[in-house]
């Protein structure tokens, strides 16, 4: 089965069920299906062919979902782009993914115009909030396009730092996702009457693969929360009678420490489960959340390249772990030998829901997929009962509690271009409850000065906001290892400051 068929099957079985909620707006599965058909047929009319790549640069709205599926139904692959991207980040992704069309919004016009000269294959830019787009759809058929889609055809390209710390496109096929759904949906105990509130952007694996596809597979409702705040979450749970929250540890840590009076002022009785992923969770805070709201906390460990490695589901989870293997999992030492239970090693896995490749990068693909096994670059420990504890990444990549990976070298390069900065190291300072806090340690040039706000504003000109240091510490020197390299582990263990 392919993703086109997943949506069509659900729309046929439960056409009037609410598929998508955004504020007062409701989109039924029938509308979802028919409108995505209109987009597919419009794209085909513009010359988009099977196998073409179409970029999706949209905010979190029903249009994101409808257009993404429109691309899939046209036989194309959706290239999922970050709506927070800056020009130096967006241009290479559009160019290297060979996008022939881009679906976006008017507010991104200046951004797209600035990068378009560097994307020679880009023929069409469609803005969903324009009259031209509305006219295009009005004249397009709501019938399913007659495009043959094979299970192994490309479906989605995500951009991620991945294991190697190099921004690249991760290619997943239709069967990657459908096979993952077979494993995921039963463990989540998803039912048709569930209302899923996702706290994640759709252009991330967890956002698309779980928040979007999970409800579609069962005909459940997905509620979009475009702007995160704890007040918005609580109000939306009460208003929509949400049964499940899906997010990153930072979201659930915040929910766990909301004061009693605030919690009691909302009716949260509909909530039965939360699913956390993307970074290391606090077992204490998840247990606190379970006890305060009478729900079940689940955890899932996966990567953009391998949708699920382990999962602790509704009926089989142990807090403090990321559950038991869903993929075939081996825990290996640095020599490639399997370690005994209870010892630390690298997680190496394989499953039908592994990526096809890094797009147009056979050499990089070969570095991480060896003899059919994906080498995650993550250190884990498996206990005697098969429960897995995720410990840390083997690389210097920062994984904050928000779950979005940050490559230190990218931000360090920006910091070093500041005229007052002599040396810098960007690391995740470890906090017991908030995970890794992205922190820049900066040595200033002799006679130069700079402020925290000035450094942050300088960074914002070149990198997406989530990459901007949460903390900045000015120091006289950076610690070094015996080989002369910056001692990142020592810096990671330094205590947080208020800056």
Q: What is the pLDDT of residue 397?
A: 72
Residue 492 — very low, low, confident or very high, per pLDDT cuts 50/70/90?
confident
Distance CA 259, CA 26 (A): 32
pLDDT, tens digit, for every residue of 449-471? Answer: 999 999 999 999 988 888 999 99
Close Cβ partners of 167 (under 8 Å, ≥ 6 residues apart) = 89, 92, 93, 159, 160, 161, 407
Q: Rounded distance, CA 88 to CA 410, Å?
A: 11
Residues 436 and 249: beta-carbon distance below 8 Å: no
Two tokens, residue 72: 């899939």
* CATH class entry, domain 195-393: alpha beta
Over pLDDT 90: what percentage of the chain?
77
Model confidence at 33: pLDDT above 50: yes
274-312 pLDDT tens trace: 999 987 888 888 999 999 999 999 999 999 999 999 999
**Quick one: what percent of the chain has pLDDT higher than 70?**
95
- Per-residue pLDDT reduced to its tens digit, 191-243: 999 999 999 899 999 999 999 999 999 999 999 998 888 999 999 999 999 99
Q: What is the pLDDT of residue 160?
A: 86
Token pair, residue 179, equals: 């096979």
Same fold, 3-149 and 195-393: yes
What confidence score (pLDDT) does residue 13 get?
Answer: 98
For residue 275 the two structure tokens come to 């699913």
The whole-chain average pLDDT of the chain stands at 92
Domain boundaries defined on the chain: 3-149, 195-393, 408-492
Phi, psi of 376 (to 5 degrees): -75, -25
Say how many CA atoms lie within 13 Å of 55 toward its Cβ. Answer: 33
Average pLDDT over residues 390-417: 79
Classify 80 as helix, strand or coil.
Answer: strand
Of the listed ranges 44-53, 159-168, 206-215, 254-263, the one predicted with least confidence: 159-168
* Bridge pairing between strands 154-160 and 124-127: unpaired
| Tokens coding 66 | 């409808």
CB 155 within 8 A of CB 177: yes
Scored b (16 or more CB within 10 A) or e, 380-417 reads bbbeeeebbbbebbebbbbbbbbbbbbbbebbbebbee
Beta strand spans in 107-207 (E): 124-127, 154-160, 168-173, 195-198
Which CATH code fits 3-149?
3.40.50.980
pLDDT of 129 > 50? The answer is: yes
* Chosen CATH of 408-492 out of 1.10.3720.10, 3.30.428.10, 3.20.20.100, 3.30.300.30: 3.30.300.30
Question: pLDDT: is 109 or 250 the higher one?
Answer: 109
Residues 232-258, mean pLDDT to the nearest whole number: 92
Q: Are 192 and 220 in contact (CB under 8 A)?
A: yes
For residue 482, pLDDT beyond 70: no
pLDDT exceeds 80 at position 164? no
| Both structure tokens of 351 | 């499953």
d(CA 59, CA 481): 44
Strand order in the sheet with 435-444: 421-431, 435-444, 471-474
Judge if pTM exceeds 0.75: yes
First to last CA, the chain: 51
Sheet holding 221-224, edge to edge: 25-28, 18-22, 221-224, 195-198, 244-247, 273-276, 296-301, 310-312, 324-325
Strand partners, 78: 54, 156
d(CA 88, CA 71): 25
pLDDT exceeds 60 at position 14:
yes
Amino acid 393: pLDDT: 75
In order of 295, 428, 443, 486, the CA distances from 482 in angstroms are 49, 21, 20, 10
Structure tokens at 177: 């996702």
Q: Which residue carries 């196998």 as its tokens?
A: 51
Q: Do the bridges between strand 195-198 and strand 244-247 make them parallel or antiparallel, or are there none, so unpaired?
A: parallel
Q: What's the pLDDT score for residue 260?
A: 92
- The values of phi and psi at residue 208, to 5°, are -80, -50
């Amino acid at each position: 089965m392919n993703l086109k068929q997943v949506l069509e099957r659900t729309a046929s079985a439960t056409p009037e069920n609410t598929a998508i909620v955004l504020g007062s707006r409701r989109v039924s599965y029938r509308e979802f299906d028919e409108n995505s058909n209109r987009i597919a047929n419009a794209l085909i009319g513009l010359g988009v062919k099977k196998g073409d790549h179409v970029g999706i640069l949209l905010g979190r709205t029903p249009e994101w979902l409808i257009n993404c599926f429109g691309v899939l139904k046209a036989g194309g692959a959706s290239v999922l782009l970050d709506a927070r991207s800056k020009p130096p980040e967006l241009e290479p992704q559009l160019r290297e993914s060979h996008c022939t069309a881009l679906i976006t919004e008017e507010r991104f016009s200046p951004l797209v115009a600035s990068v378009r000269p560097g994307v020679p294959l880009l023929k069409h830019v469609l803005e969903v909030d324009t009259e031209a787009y509305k006219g295009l759809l009005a004249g397009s058929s709501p019938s399913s396009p007659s495009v043959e889609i094979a299970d192994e055809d490309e479906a989605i390209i995500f951009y991620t730092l991945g294991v190697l710390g190099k921004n690249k496109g991760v290619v997943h096929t239709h069967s990657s996702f459908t096979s993952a759904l077979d494993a995921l949906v039963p463990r989540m105990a998803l039912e048709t009457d569930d209302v899923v509130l996702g706290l994640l952007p759709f252009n991330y694996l967890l956002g698309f693969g779980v928040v979007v596809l999970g409800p579609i597979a069962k005909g459940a409702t997905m509620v979009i929360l475009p702007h995160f705040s704890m007040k918005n979450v609580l109000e939306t749970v009460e208003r929509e009678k949400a049964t499940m929250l899906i997010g990153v540890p930072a979201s659930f840590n915040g929910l766990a420490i909301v004061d009693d009076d605030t919690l009691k002022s909302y009716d949260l009785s509909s909530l039965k489960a939360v699913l956390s992923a993307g970074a290391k969770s606090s077992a204490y805070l998840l247990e606190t959340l379970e006890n305060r709201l009478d729900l079940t906390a689940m955890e899932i460990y996966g990567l953009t390249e391998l949708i699920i490695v382990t999962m602790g589901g509704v009926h089989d989870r142990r807090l403090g772990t990321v559950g038991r293997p869903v993929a075939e999992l081996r825990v290996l030492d640095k020599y490639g030998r399997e370690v005994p239970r209870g010892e630390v090693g690298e997680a190496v896995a394989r499953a039908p829901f592994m990526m096809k490749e890094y797009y147009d990068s056979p050499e990089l693909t070969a570095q991480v997929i060896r003899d059919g096994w994906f080498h995650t670059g993550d250190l884990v420990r498996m206990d005697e009962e098969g429960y897995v504890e995720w410990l840390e990444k083997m690389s210097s990549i920062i994984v904050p509690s928000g779950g979005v990976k940050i490559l230190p070298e990218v931000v360090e390069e920006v910091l070093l271009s500041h005229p007052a900065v002599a040396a810098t190291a960007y690391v995740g300072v470890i906090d017991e409850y908030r995970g890794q806090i992205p922190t820049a340690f900066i040595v200033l040039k002799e006679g130069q000065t700079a402020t925290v706000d000035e450094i942050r504003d300088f960074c914002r000109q070149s990198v997406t906001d989530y990459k901007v240091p949460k903390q900045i510490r000015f120091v006289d020197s950076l610690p070094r290892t015996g080989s002369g390299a910056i001692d990142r582990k020592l810096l990671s263990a330094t205590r947080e400051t208020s800056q």
